[in-house]
Structure 1
Amino acid sequence: MPLPDGNSINTAPLDEGEDTEPLIENDPVPPQCCSARLNLAFLMFCGFSVVYGLRVNLSVAMVAMVNTTDPEPAPNSSVISACPLPPEGDNSSDSFHQPAGIPQYPWDSETQGWLLGAFFFGYLCTQIPGGYLSGHYGGSIFLGVGVLGTAFLTLLTPLAAQMGSYWLFALRALEGFGEGVTFPAMMAMWARWAPPLERSRLMTLSGSGGNFGAFVALPLTGVICQALGWPAVFYLCGAAGCLWAVVWFIFVSDDPRTHPRISKEEKDYIIKSIGPQGTGHGWSVPLLSMSMSVPLWAIIITQMCSNWSYYTLLTSLPTYMDNVMHFDLKSNGLLSALPYFGAWLMSMLSGVVADSIIEREVFSITVVRKLFTLIGLLLQAAFLVAVSYAGCSHILAVTFLTLSTTLGGITASGVYINQIDIAPRYAGFLLGISNTFGTIPGVLAPIATGYFTEGHTMAGWRKVFWVAAGINVGGAIVYTIFGSAKIQPWAITEEERAETDKERSRSIST
C-alpha cells in the first residue's frame, strides 16, 4: 500500500517483512517505448554484446593463430569408447587457411590454455572495487571506461601476439581487469533507474546482450578469420567497442535527476517509485552485516553452482563437438553459438513474464525469484543428464545442449537480479561480490573436465555432464530454502526508518 505522505509510492512497510511491490494507483506510468530507461537498457544490451564478443573471439581466432590446434594428438587407443570418425571427414585445419602474410605461431596446447584463461585472472580483481565505486559515484563512467579500455586493448592483440605469448597473456589479463567493472556498474545504475515493477524486463534486456554477443561472435569470428585473416577480428571488434563508448558517453547519465533529455513525467515516476534506495551508498558499507546475511550467501552459492554448468559448456563445448561429435570447425563454431541464441531469447522472455506476475500480484517477489531460479536450474540439469545419454546421435546431442542452455536463461529473472531486491543501494557492490565468487567455477570447471575426460571416452564426458547437473540441483535447493527478495535490515536507509516509524505511530494513534 502507498505510504500516506506519498514519499515512496512503491515501498511496502519495512517492519512487516513484505516483498511485494503494489501497483501505482495515483500517478500514471509513463510508457516504456522510446523512454530514457528503455534507451538505457538498449545501450547496455549493445555494450554487453560487444563485451562478450571481445571476450570469446580469441577462442575461435586461436585456431587460425597457431600452426596446429593439436600438435600431440592422443593415440587411437585412448578414444576407444568415443564416437567413430565420419567416413569422409574433412581436415578441420583446412577451414581456416590464412591469407598470405598473416603470421601463425607455434603455441602448444598448454600455452593456448593459459592464453584463453588469462582473461579471468584480471576479471577476478575488479569486480568488488568496481561495484563499490559504482555505488558511490554512479556506474556510467565505470561501465563506459570498462568497455572502452577493453576495446582499445583488443586493438593491440596482433602486436602483443607478435611480441610473444607472455605479452599476449598480460594483454588478455588487462582486458579482464577492465571488463570486470562492467556488470557491477550495470547493477549500480539500475538501482537508480529501474522502477521496481520493471526491474526484471529492463535488467534481463540489458544483461542478455552477453548471450547475444557470444551467439554472434562465435561464428562471425570464423568467417572474418577465413576472409580477412585473424588480425582483422581484433581490429573490427576493438573498433566496435570504441564506437559504442562514444555513443554511451554522449547519451547516458548516472541518474534520472541529471539526464538532460528525460521527460519530467518519466523522471518523477522513476524517482518516486524507487524512493530513498535510488541514491548512492556513500563511502561506508555494512560489511559485517553483509557477511552474516543468509539471503546474500544464498545468492552467492547459487550463482557459483549455476556458473559451473555455464563455464563447463563455455570452455568445453567446442572440445566436445570436436573430440566426440567430430564436427568440422565451421559447424563447430555455429553449433557452439546456437545455445547462446536460445538463452538470449529465454532470458528476455522470462523478464517480461516475471514483471507481469509481480505487477498482477500473483506471487510475491520472493516466490517469483525462487520459482524462476528453481525451474531454470532443474530443467538445465535435466537436459545436461539427457546429453550424457544421447550417445553418438548428433541431432540429440545438439538438441539437448541447446535446450539446456536455453532453459537455463530462465534464471536471469531469478537469482541473477536478486541483489537489487535485497539491497538496492548496495546492488552494484553485492553483484561484484557474487560475481567474484561466481568466477571461481570458471577456473575449476575446465580443470575438472580435463580430469574426467583424460581418456577422451564417452564415459568421461558423461561424468562431466552429471557433475554439472548435480551442482545445478544443489544450487536450486539452497536458493529455494534460503533465498529472499525482502530488503535486508542493513540496507534500509535512515529516511526509510523514519518513514516507517511515522507509519507505526499513525497506526498506533488510530
Structure 2
Amino acid sequence: MTSLMGSLEGANSGKRESTNPQEEEGKKQPHQQVNRFCSVRYAMAIMIHGCNLIIFTQISSLSIAIIAMVNHTGQSNQSNVSSEGYPGATPDIGVPVYDWSPEIQGLLLSAFIYGSLISTVPSGYFAGVLGGKKIAGFSMLICSILNLLIPLAADYGLGYLFVIRIVQGLLQGMNYSALSAFWPKWAPPLERTQLSTIGISGVTMGNFIAVLGGGFLCDSPGWPSIFYIFGGIGCVYCIIWFSLVYDDPMNHPLISDSEKEYIASSMTEQDNAPTWSLPFKAMIKTMALWAILVSNICRFWLISNLTTSLPTLLDSMFDLDFEKNGFLSALPLITSWGSMTLGGYIADFLLSKKILRLITVRKLFTFLGMFFSSLFTVLVPYVDSTTAIVFLILASTMSTLCFSGFMINPLDIAPRYASFLMALGTTFMLISGLVSPVITGYFINQDATGWKNVFFLSSAINLLGMVFYLIFGQTDVQDWAREHKITRF
C-alpha cells in the first residue's frame, strides 16, 4: 500500500503546482472552521439525502411489488385477470393480480431508464445555471403524484403504466442531476467529499428501504400500499423541501453569519459562477474528463450485474429460498450506505489533516473501490455458497468507495460545470447498465460456466476503468473551467 500511495503521489509530479482550491485551503486555512454537525450545510446534505431516498424508494417500488402483482410469471398472456368487484382482483388476497409475461415485466422495470437517459444531461446543464432547488423539488413532487397513480394505471392497462414509468424516469433523471448543483456553492472544499456522499447515500438507503419494507407491505395490506405510502411521503417531503432548501447559502434565512462567512471565504479561490456557455471542444480533448466517464462505465458494468442479477444468481447458483434471497439482496445496500458515508469522512479527514494530497485521495479511493470489488467478484465461482455471498456483499460495499474517488472528481476539475459533468457521467452509467444485463443474459444462457464468464468479464472491465483513471485522472481545475477561458455554446 505504501508503494501504491507513493506512485499516486508522483503521478502528477511533472505538472505545474496545483491550483485546486481544496489543496490551497488546506495550506492557507485563513478562516476558522465552523462546527460541522450543527450547521445548515450539513442539514442541506441531510435534506438532499432524504430527496434521493424518496425518489429511489419510488423507482424501486415496482421491482418489489411486481412479484405480488403478477399471477403467473411464466404465462405469455398480457391481459389483466378479471374477477368480480374489482378488475384484476382475486378473492383470496383482495388486490389486483395480472398476467404479464417475463418480457413485459422486464420492459416495465427498465422503462424508467429510458426516461432518465433523455433528461439527465439537459437537467444537469440547466441546474448548473438556474440552481437545483426548483428542478429537484418539482420533479420529486410530480414523481410522487405519479407513484400514487400506479395502481390505477396498472388496472386501466399496460400502456398507462408504461407512460408513468417513462415519465418517472424523466423526473428521476432531472432530480438526480439537479441535486449535484448544490455542492459548488454549499460545500467548502475540505468538506466536499463528506457532504456529497451524505447526499448521494440516500440512493442506497432508498433502495434498501424499498427492498426490505416492500416485502412486508406486499404481504399486508397488499402491493398497492407500497405506491400509496412512498408516494404520500414524497408529497409531504416536498413541502419541507421548498421551505428549508436554498440554492445559495447567502440567501438561507437560518444560516448563521459565521457559517456564511466560513463558506464564502472557503470559495474565494474557486471559479463556480454559473454560465450558459459550455466549452464542448475543450471538454472533449480533456483526458481528465474521459478518465471520469470511462471509470463510470466500467464500474457500473460490474455494479449493475451485482445488483440486478444478484437475486437470480442466488437462486440459480445456490438455490436459496425466497426469504433468504430477499434479505441477502438487501444486505449489500445497507453495508454500501455505511461504506459510502464512512469513505467520505475519511477522505476529507486525510485532506484536512494534510496527510495526503487531493489527487492521491481521489486515486486511492478509486483503487480501493474498483480493485477489491473486482477481486471479490472474480473469486465467487471458486468458493462455497456462504463465502460467495460474503464476497458479493463485500464487492458491492467496497465499490461505493469510488464516490470519494473519481465520482466526485467533476467538482475538483470543473466546479463551474460540476452538475453538467456529473449528469454526463450518470448517462454513461445508464448506458452501461442497459448493455451489461444483455451480455450477462447471453453468457448465462450458454452453458454451466455462464456465471463464471460473467464474473470474469465484469471484473476485467472494472479493472480497466481503474487503470484508466489512475493514469489520466487529475484534480487541478481545468483551464476551460476558469472564468476567462470559455468558448461560446
TM-score computed with the length of structure 1 as normaliser: 0.86
What's the secondary structure of 1:281's corresponding residue?
coil
Runs of 5+ in structure 2 lacking a partner?
1-14, 77-89
Match of 2:428 in 1: 437
Match of 1:335 in 2: 328
Match of 2:464 in 1: 474
State the shift of 1:192 in Å: 0.7
- Work out the percentage of aligned pairs sharing the same amino acid: 38
State the shift of 1:100 in Å: 3.0
Which string of whole-angstrom CA distances, capped at 9 and with x for unpartnered residues, describes residues 102-149 of structure 1? 111110111111111101010101111111111111111111122222
CA distance in 1, matches of 2:96, 2:485: 62
Match of 2:38 in 1: 34
Residue 256 of structure 1 pairs with residue 253 of structure 2: no
CA distance in 2, matches of 1:203, 1:343: 15
1:317-332 equivalences in 2 (<5 Å): 317-332=310-325
Which string of whole-angstrom CA distances, capped at 9 and with x for unpartnered residues, describes residues 314-364 of structure 1? 211111122222222222221101011111111111111111111122222
Which string of whole-angstrom CA distances, capped at 9 and with x for unpartnered residues, describes residues 4-24 of structure 1? xxxxxxxxxx97434423335
CA distance in 1, matches of 2:261, 2:165: 43
Change (3 A) 1:304 1:98: farther
CA distance in 2, matches of 1:98, 1:218: 26
CA contact (8 A) 1:452 1:461 kept: yes
1:198-237 equivalences in 2 (<5 Å): 198-237=191-230
CA contact (8 A) 1:21 1:196 kept: no
Match of 2:86 in 1: none
Change (3 A) 1:303 1:99: farther
Match of 1:81 in 2: none
Which string of whole-angstrom CA distances, capped at 9 and with x for unpartnered residues, describes residues 361-396 of structure 1? 222211110110011100000010121223xx3311
Runs of 4+ in 1 over 6 A off after TM superposition: none
Change (3 A) 1:241 1:347: same
CA contact (8 A) 1:193 1:278 kept: no
Change (3 A) 1:15 1:263: farther
Match of 1:460 in 2: 450
Runs of 5+ in structure 1 lacking a partner?
1-13, 73-96, 497-510
Match of 2:187 in 1: 194
Aligned counterpart in structure 1 of residue 145 of structure 2, from 152, 155, 162: 152
What's the secondary structure of 1:228's corresponding residue?
coil
State the shift of 1:98 in Å: 9.0
Match of 2:476 in 1: 486
State the shift of 1:285 in Å: 1.6
Change (3 A) 1:207 1:99: farther
CA contact (8 A) 2:70 2:99 kept: yes
State the shift of 1:489 in Å: 0.3
CA distance in 2, matches of 1:143, 1:235: 21
CA contact (8 A) 1:422 1:485 kept: yes
Tell which deviates more after alignment, 54-63 or 276-285.
276-285
Which string of whole-angstrom CA distances, capped at 9 and with x for unpartnered residues, describes residues 453-497 of structure 1? 115x5411111111111111000000000011110000112499x
What's the secondary structure of 1:106's corresponding residue?
coil
State the shift of 1:235 in Å: 0.5
CA distance in 1, matches of 2:478, 2:155: 52
Match of 2:25 in 1: 22
CA contact (8 A) 1:21 1:359 kept: no
CA distance in 2, matches of 1:99, 1:366: 60
Aligned counterpart in structure 1 of residue 345 of structure 2, from 329, 339, 352: 352
CA contact (8 A) 1:191 1:278 kept: no
Change (3 A) 1:15 1:228: same
Residue 289 of structure 1 pairs with residue 290 of structure 2: no
What's the secondary structure of 2:474's corresponding residue?
coil
Residue 43 of structure 1 pairs with residue 43 of structure 2: no
CA distance in 1, matches of 2:92, 2:111: 28
State the shift of 1:71 in Å: 4.1
Aligned counterpart in structure 2 of residue 414 of structure 1, from 369, 394, 405: 405
1:126-137 equivalences in 2 (<5 Å): 126-137=119-130
CA contact (8 A) 2:31 2:265 kept: no
Tell which deviates more after alignment, 479-488 or 176-185.
176-185
CA contact (8 A) 2:64 2:210 kept: no
Residue 55 of structure 1 pairs with residue 68 of structure 2: no
In structure 2, give the amino acid aligned to 1:443.
L
CA contact (8 A) 2:271 2:415 kept: yes
Change (3 A) 1:31 1:238: same
Which string of whole-angstrom CA distances, capped at 9 and with x for unpartnered residues, describes residues 247-290 of structure 1? 11100100011111100111111111112646442211212211
Change (3 A) 1:257 1:448: same
What's the secondary structure of 1:307's corresponding residue?
helix
Match of 2:82 in 1: none
CA contact (8 A) 1:192 1:278 kept: no
What's the secondary structure of 1:22's corresponding residue?
helix
Tell which deviates more after alignment, 104-113 or 163-172.
163-172
Match of 1:114 in 2: 107
CA contact (8 A) 1:306 1:377 kept: yes
How many positions carry a matched residue from both structures?
Answer: 456
In structure 1, give the amino acid aligned to 2:203.
G
CA contact (8 A) 1:21 1:197 kept: no
In structure 2, give the amino acid aligned to 1:465.
F
Residue 379 of structure 1 pairs with residue 372 of structure 2: yes
In structure 2, give the amino acid aligned to 1:478.
F
Change (3 A) 1:71 1:321: farther
What's the secondary structure of 2:456's corresponding residue?
helix
What's the secondary structure of 2:318's corresponding residue?
coil
CA contact (8 A) 1:122 1:180 kept: yes
